[in-house]
Homo-oligomer: A and B are copies of this chain.
């Protein structure tokens, strides 16, 4: 099933979107908003699925779906926590500065809490206050849960994954070293995040959803050129259920909690740093990574961070080349 929130008030208007993303049906009779549906998921889900079937069969009144009219599936959320499941990304950061990766990183996930009160719509500009802040994209996937009890196991956590999304975890690289040095983690260095126009139930992926991982490439284009084609299931030290369980270790998670994967990052074929897409590799889901690889090979980074006018597109196609979540498509602008 595919769901979206059309722009409307603070929380959007819940609609069911057809499998081919061409049309939508109003779901207001089932739940006015995505959050309301998640608050009452056991009751709402079968009704939404029935409507989805009817929409795909042309048996219900529908209207053309315009992705530009969609907000992030949850325009604001009660929790947005982002893991760092792809240790390859961390290994590259450390390698670029000749530091080792602590052994604990391979069994204890990194996770930060993000701002969730003001997400960007998927086609919204990225407001940048200062080019020196070092604006970067981070292409990721995330799950949205129902209520998760404190202390849940990974196995149990998997059952609480109700929806999946793709996202751009906008990051301000220039502010990160100073914030991390203070010891409290990211805050100003993680401005508003943008999510895909559409959220899907995991069954929508068929065999491409397995072991709480999506088995497809995440596509990132930067300024109109292919930049990242990382395979989501490869090199994932943790799956989404592991990350949900980590988040719930000492507290309950409320319905509508979003837990992200961190930047999708693959090793190269030889186990070393991956190559750019233009050189036949899978490329990168953020600029920081190509800069690290430039630093490792050339002694210094040459690719600059994003400036006003730069564009990023993030999406995922199924095996037949059809867009699953719609496209995040953003342009950096001066704030």
Q: Is A100 on the interface with B (CB-CB < 8 A)? A: no
- Residues A77 and B78 in contact in the complex (CB < 8 Å), given A112-B185, A118-B251: yes
Chain A 60-101: CB-based contact to B (< 8 A → 1; otherwise 0): 000000000000000011110100100000000000000000
A246 engages B335 (CB within 8 Å):
no
Question: Within 8 Å CB of A181, what residues of B?
Answer: 102
Please name the residue on chain B nearest to A193 by beta carbon.
B251
Question: Which of B118, B127, B182, B256 contacts A117 (CB under 8 A)?
Answer: B256
Interface stretch (choices A48-56, A103-111, A276-284, A294-302): A103-111
Chain A 177-199: CB-based contact to B (< 8 A → 1; otherwise 0): 01011111111110110000000
Question: Which of B110, B175, B255 contacts A250 (CB under 8 A)?
Answer: B175
Chain B nearest Cβ from A105, distance in angstroms: 7
A115 engages B187 (CB within 8 Å):
no
Q: Is A254 on the interface with B (CB-CB < 8 A)? A: yes
Q: Is A116 on the interface with B (CB-CB < 8 A)? A: yes
A residues near B, CB below 8 A?
10, 39, 76-79, 81, 84, 102, 104-105, 108, 110-118, 127, 129, 133, 150-151, 172, 175, 178, 180-189, 191-192, 246-247, 249-257, 335
